[in-house]
Amino acid sequence: MTALAAAEAATDAAAGTAIFTRGLTKRFRGHPAVDGLDLTVPRGAVFGFLGPNGSGKTTTIRMLLGLAAPSAGEIHLLGETLPHALPTVLPRVGALVEGPAFAPFLSGAANLSRFDAADPRSSPATRRTRVRDAIGRVGLSAAATKRAGAYSLGMKQRLGLASALLAPRELLVLDEPTNGLDPQGTREVRSLIRSLAADGTTVFLSSHLLAEIEQVCTHVAVMRAGRLVTSGTLNELRAESAPRVHVRTPDVDAAAAVLRRLGLSPQQVGPDEVDAALGDGVLGGPVLSGRVPIEQVTAALVGDGVRVRGIALAGATLEERFVELTGEGFDVAG
């Protein structure tokens, strides 16, 4: 394939996507912080971008927004090729990256007015309305006239979100948007993200709060050491890991013995609870093809006289899948 044909193929593949990268690489002193990243973010998705500390997430976001130049590879944003399309694409993109910065002696509303005035496409005649609506959407109306320097960390995060929402956006890039928020504020931001997605905005979200990602995201990508290790819908990611069987019984030791005989690796998770992943196992000697059916687990427990108070099948959590993919706990500070 010629270089021209390859470029045309990439452009065709990027059509209909909010973010599309191929071979995206960023090196610092010869060391790849991002290494050959192929990322596809469909339009309308709420896309969770995950990875442990130093995995390359923030570097990727900076390249997507034109804040850092790639060492190699391609970036297509909203169907346009970067970097030459940055002037026309960035006005369609809102971003909250690495924490918001505001003039501390100006009010929240005055800070937003300055942000709005810096946009050559904004109309001064409707500026006050845009600022009022953006502040209201993030729940800061009561503090609009308060100095930004007196804002709490959570309030500053809200103000940063408001600045990203001053104009209609096709893509919103958020780096730790719930940092510093109390539970109520976190719920409100979660609701805001859902409403933006319902309006057709694509949301690209980096967060260390896996529970939040599970509740709000439709798609997930996981980075490790600068490389993409998996990407897809949230359900696809969960399905890649074996489901778990959870048994409640007063006969924990006997239940664990049955599960071990089936080739599983049981763990006691409570005084009367034991669970195990339904991976490949053995039943009566021969190796089963695929996963042990929960019906066979139930029959084996009852057949051995184990008193079963309850048995449930649960899919792997996002946290469990993350640990499987990265081999470490979740810490996305970098």
Query: For position 307, which CATH number holds?
Result: 3.30.70
14 CB burial (10 A radius; 0-12, 13-18, 19+): buried
Judgement on whether residues 231 and 263 belong to the same structural domain of the protein: no
Quote the pLDDT of residue 162.
92
Quote the pLDDT of residue 93.
94
pLDDT at 286 over 50: no
> Which of 21-25, 98-102, 310-314 shows the lowest per-residue confidence on average (mean pLDDT)?
98-102
* Digit-coded pLDDT (tens) for 120-170: 888 999 999 999 999 998 889 999 999 999 998 888 888 998 999 999 899
Cα separation, 11 vs 15, in Å, equals 6
Q: How does strand 72-77 pair with strand 80-82?
A: antiparallel
Quote the pLDDT of residue 171.
96
Judgement on whether residues 227 and 289 belong to the same structural domain of the protein: no
Judgement on whether residues 58 and 192 belong to the same structural domain of the protein: yes
Residue 318 belongs to what H/E stretch? helix 318-326
Domain-embedded: residue 320: no
Judgement on whether residues 143 and 175 belong to the same structural domain of the protein: yes
Domain-embedded: residue 18: yes
Which letter does DSSP use for residue 66 in this model?
T
Using the 3D structure, point to which of 239, 256, 271 is the last residue of a domain. Answer: 239
Using the 3D structure, point to which of 216, 239, 262 is the last residue of a domain. Answer: 239
Cα separation, 175 vs 205, in Å, equals 6
Question: C-alpha angle with apex 234: 169 to 313, nearest 5 degrees?
Answer: 150
| Burial annotation 169-196 (CB, 10 A radius, 16+ → b, else e) | bbbbbbbbbbbebeeebbebbbebbeeb
Domain-embedded: residue 255: yes
The percent of residues above 70 in pLDDT, for the chain, comes to 84
Query: For position 59, which CATH number holds?
Result: 3.40.50.300
Judgement on whether residues 271 and 129 belong to the same structural domain of the protein: no
Judgement on whether residues 128 and 254 belong to the same structural domain of the protein: no
84 CB burial (10 A radius; 0-12, 13-18, 19+): exposed
Quote the pLDDT of residue 203.
95
Quote the pLDDT of residue 9.
54
Q: Average pLDDT of the chain?
A: 84
Domain-embedded: residue 326: no
Judgement on whether residues 299 and 150 belong to the same structural domain of the protein: no
Judgement on whether residues 20 and 44 belong to the same structural domain of the protein: yes
Q: Quick check: 23 and 17 in contact, CB under 8 A?
A: no
Q: If DSSP codes are grouped into helix, strand and coil, which group holds residue 315?
A: coil
Domain-embedded: residue 121: yes
* Digit-coded pLDDT (tens) for 162-210: 999 999 899 999 988 887 778 888 888 888 888 889 989 999 998 877 7
pLDDT at 41 over 90: yes
Domain-embedded: residue 321: no
Quote the pLDDT of residue 303.
92
Q: Quick check: 105 and 149 in contact, CB under 8 A?
A: yes
Judgement on whether residues 201 and 218 belong to the same structural domain of the protein: yes
Domain-embedded: residue 85: yes
**What domain count does the chain have?**
2
Judgement on whether residues 220 and 250 belong to the same structural domain of the protein: no
Note if the bond before 83 is cis, omega within 30 degrees: yes
Which domain range does residue 154 map to? 3-239
Structure pTM? 0.74
Judgement on whether residues 135 and 167 belong to the same structural domain of the protein: yes
Quote the pLDDT of residue 276.
85
Domain-embedded: residue 324: no
Judgement on whether residues 142 and 99 belong to the same structural domain of the protein: yes
* Digit-coded pLDDT (tens) for 64-104: 999 999 999 999 999 999 999 999 999 999 998 876 789 99
